[in-house]
């Protein structure tokens, strides 16, 4: 308390007849000098004195009672650039290399994605071979070979030995790869875990030489190091073969390489895929969970049974050597997608300012027309007028305030949606054919939605389903998630597709559904998003971000397929009820005829006639 409060308190105590205690202000004691105390020898010098003796500057600020461990100059000496490969080498879980099993799957996935993209861009029907050889319990060699156009020799080191090097990041068109990380990250993982470089064999034409290169990545500089470069004899007219030795774990189940290969064949019915898995014991195969797809590997060298005897599709089959063939369902290559310019609605202010600085256009009006899609001269004039910026203004000289006004004017101007020729959907007919060839079921349906836009990026949703048959009836439904024809194996709970499925009312489609969970029943769902830029939640591309526009389109597609399967279930239940009632009536028609015969004294011919007439009446009522 303060002095005034102390005296007031003392006065009150005096009036009460009690002695009062007055709090005296504290007086800081003078510290004893070392000479007086006799303890000066061996004492620790204050930080300011020690620093003065070292010549580090006695006028620097120091916290009381604390010694400075490093100086600003010491910290400056430690600063250095960090390469992207060095970052991902320490944070490889961000790229999908969390554990040995997932690393094996991610490596196969990245290699197959690149092979499919190369074949489709060259207009070649893909024929891909995937081999997994097991060297020891945790050591594998993965080989992926395609019949694509091959790779120019000078580009091979950069493609496989540098992160963030590719041809797909800066263009707006549908493709499986986006960032230029995948296959080079797989090679980096193999180098880190085994010390072995990635081996690439490629040939660009039947009259060209085949080159084999061994490439290692220098993670500190993100530069490739060529260990070996030689010309080899290769009996392949054109194509590429990639071999990576790595530490991994091979197992079956939902997140296995086997499941991935089956799913990739569903989403790419134009591709022929040969898969040679590592040899496993019978006990290991028996321990694996069942899959709703036709298990060709378990057929002991015999082709699996067809999903429908009336279909002409050929299911996957295993050879005597254990190699599994997934034949192509169609000979039609997906339509070539066009590259589009960015749509104004999807450009943020900072990106817009950078585009203004980098453009080759002479003024704002020309920049809006030439560098963006769906912006005509009339729309460009309207944007300039709304922003109150001259159409002849040089974009390189625009201030931030002017760019912000232009950005707000773009959002307030009605602009046509971007073109959709940059997207190549699978197609509902091919989805249904692929499901029929690979899934044993009683009913199939598929829907392809019309293209729509999120953040200025066009996208469309496709949904396919299979119901009944050999699918498990007492378990949660199976959901296959695809993005640009690529299966998504992990982080199902964090994906927008799962949110759309659980958010759909499946009870109205005759399926059981716990609150906030996947429905229960013999159902397999296939949901595919095709877009020029899929919004993944991370660099590993395992789940789709929760954009409201995307989730809405997914729900509409699911509801459309749900109505079809709901009608099928209701019809089958009606038929089952009618069959049950018919069986009851047919059971008692002869008894009714016998009773009439006894009451009316009819003969056996009349009794048989009554049975036939009552049966005809029952049949007519059933058809009505």
| pLDDT band (50, 70, 90) for residue 318 | low
**Measured between alpha carbons, how far is 229 from 531 in angstroms, rounded to an integer?**
38
Domains of the chain: 1-52 (no CATH), 87-326 (3.30.565.10), 344-412 (1.10.8.50), 428-569 (3.30.230.10)
* DSSP secondary structure letters along 438-482: HB--SEEEEEEPPPEEETTEEEEEEEEEEESTTS-SSSBPEEEEE
Residues in contact with 567: Cβ distance below 8 Å, sequence separation at least 6, in sequence order = none
- pLDDT confidence of residue 283: 46
> How does pLDDT run across 103-130, given as a tens digit for each residue?
898 889 889 988 998 898 888 999 999 9
| pLDDT band (50, 70, 90) for residue 303 | very low
How far is Cα of residue 141 from the mean position of the Cα atoms in its chain? 25
- pLDDT confidence of residue 169: 57
Residue 20 has pLDDT above 50, yes or no: no
Most confident option among 56-60, 163-167, 222-226, 615-619? 222-226
Number of helices (H) and strands (E) in the chain: give both, helices first. Answer: 18, 15
| pLDDT band (50, 70, 90) for residue 48 | low
**Measured between alpha carbons, how far is 60 from 58 in angstroms, rounded to an integer?**
6
> How does pLDDT run across 461-470, given as a tens digit for each residue?
999 999 988 8
**Measured between alpha carbons, how far is 102 from 95 in angstroms, rounded to an integer?**
10
Compute CA distances 29 → 32, 66, 157, 209, whole Å.
9, 22, 74, 91
**Helix, strand, coil abundance in the chain, percent, nearest 5:** 40, 15, 40
- pLDDT confidence of residue 486: 87
Residue with tokens 């079956």, as numbered in its chain: 252
Q: What is the pTM of this model?
A: 0.70
- pLDDT confidence of residue 230: 92
Average pLDDT, integer, range 276-297: 56
- Interior/surface letters 566-578, b for 16+ CB within 10 angstroms, e for the rest: bebbeeeeeeeee
Residue with tokens 């009259």, as numbered in its chain: 207
- pLDDT confidence of residue 557: 94
- pLDDT confidence of residue 79: 79
Higher pLDDT, 242 or 578: 242
Average pLDDT, integer, range 126-149: 93
Average pLDDT, integer, range 195-223: 90
- pLDDT confidence of residue 599: 83
Lowest mean pLDDT among 129-133, 230-234, 316-320, 321-325: 316-320
Residue 6 has pLDDT above 50, yes or no: no
Contact call for residues 469 and 439 (beta carbons, < 8 A):
yes
Lowest mean pLDDT among 83-97, 126-140, 543-557: 83-97
> How does pLDDT run across 425-455, given as a tens digit for each residue?
888 999 998 888 888 889 999 999 988 888 8
Higher pLDDT, 232 or 38: 232
> How does pLDDT run across 567-593, given as a tens digit for each residue?
999 988 887 877 777 777 777 778 888
Cα angle 489, 491, 496 (rounded to 5 degrees) comes to: 100
Give the HSE-up count for residue 407: Cα atoms under 13 Å, Cβ half-sphere. Answer: 18
End-to-end CA distance of the chain: 99
């Amino acid at each position: 308390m303060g002095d005034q409060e102390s005296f007031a308190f003392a006065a009150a105590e005096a009036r009460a007849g009690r002695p009062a205690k007055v709090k005296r202000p504290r007086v800081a004691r003078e510290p004893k000098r070392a000479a007086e105390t006799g303890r000066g020898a061996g004492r620790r010098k204050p930080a300011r004195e020690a620093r003065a003796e070292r010549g580090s500057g006695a006028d620097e600020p120091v916290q009381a009672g604390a010694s400075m461990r490093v100086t600003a100059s010491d910290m400056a000496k430690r600063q250095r650039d960090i390469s992207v490969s060095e970052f991902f080498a320490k944070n490889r879980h961000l790229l999908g290399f969390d554990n040995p099993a997932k690393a094996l799957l991610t490596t196969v996935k990245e290699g197959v994605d690149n092979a499919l993209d190369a074949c489709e861009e060259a207009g070649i029907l893909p024929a891909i071979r995937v081999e997994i050889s097991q060297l020891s319990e945790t050591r594998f060699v993965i080989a992926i070979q395609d019949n694509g156009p091959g790779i120019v020799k000078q580009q091979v080191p950069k493609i496989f030995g540098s992160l963030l090097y590719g041809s797909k990041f800066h263009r707006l068109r549908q493709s499986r790869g986006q960032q230029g990380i995948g296959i080079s990250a797989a090679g980096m993982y193999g180098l880190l875990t085994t010390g072995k470089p990635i081996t690439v064999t490629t040939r660009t034409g039947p009259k060209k030489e085949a080159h084999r290169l061994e490439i290692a990545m220098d993670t500190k500089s993100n530069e490739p190091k060529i260990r070996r470069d030689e010309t080899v004899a290769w009996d392949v007219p054109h194509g590429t073969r990639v071999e990576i030795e790595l530490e991994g774990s091979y197992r079956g189940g939902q997140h296995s390489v086997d499941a991935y290969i089956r799913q990739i064949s569903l989403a790419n019915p134009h591709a022929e895929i040969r898969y040679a898995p590592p040899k496993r014991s019978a006990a290991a195969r028996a321990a694996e969970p069942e899959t709703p797809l036709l298990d060709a590997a378990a057929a002991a060298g015999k082709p699996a049974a067809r999903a429908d005897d009336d279909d002409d599709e050929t299911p996957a089959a295993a050879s005597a050597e254990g190699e599994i063939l997934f034949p192509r369902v169609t000979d039609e290559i997906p339509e070539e997608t066009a590259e589009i310019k960015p749509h104004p609605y999807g450009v943020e202010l900072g990106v817009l300012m950078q585009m203004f600085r980098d453009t080759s256009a002479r003024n704002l009006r020309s920049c809006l027309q030439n560098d963006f899609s769906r912006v005509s001269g009339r729309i460009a004039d309207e944007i300039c007028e709304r922003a109150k910026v001259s159409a002849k203004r040089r974009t390189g000289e625009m201030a931030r305030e002017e760019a912000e006004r232009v950005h707000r004017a773009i959002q307030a101007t009605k602009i046509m949606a971007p073109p959709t020729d940059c997207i190549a959907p699978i197609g509902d007919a091919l989805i249904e054919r692929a499901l029929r060839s690979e899934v044993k079921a009683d009913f199939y349906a598929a829907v392809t939605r019309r293209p729509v836009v999120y953040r200025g990026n066009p996208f469309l949703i496709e949904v396919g389903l299979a119901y009944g048959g050999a699918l498990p009836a007492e378990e949660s439904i199976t959901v296959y998630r695809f993005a640009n024809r690529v299966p998504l194996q992990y982080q199902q709970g964090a994906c927008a597709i799962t949110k759309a499925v659980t958010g759909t009312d499946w009870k109205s489609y005759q399926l059981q559904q716990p609150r906030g969970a996947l429905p229960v029943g013999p159902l397999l769902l296939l949901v595919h998003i095709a877009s020029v830029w899929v919004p993944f939640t991370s660099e590993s591309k395992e789940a789709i971000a929760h954009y409201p526009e995307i989730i809405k389109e997914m729900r509409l597609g699911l509801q459309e397929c749900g109505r079809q399967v709901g009608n099928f279930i209701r019809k089958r239940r009606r038929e089952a009820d009618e069959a049950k009632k018919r069986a009851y009536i047919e059971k008692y028609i002869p008894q009714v005829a016998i009773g009439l015969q006894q009451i009316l004294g009819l003969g056996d011919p009349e009794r048989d006639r009554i049975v036939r007439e009552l049966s005809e009446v029952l049949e007519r009522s059933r058809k009505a």
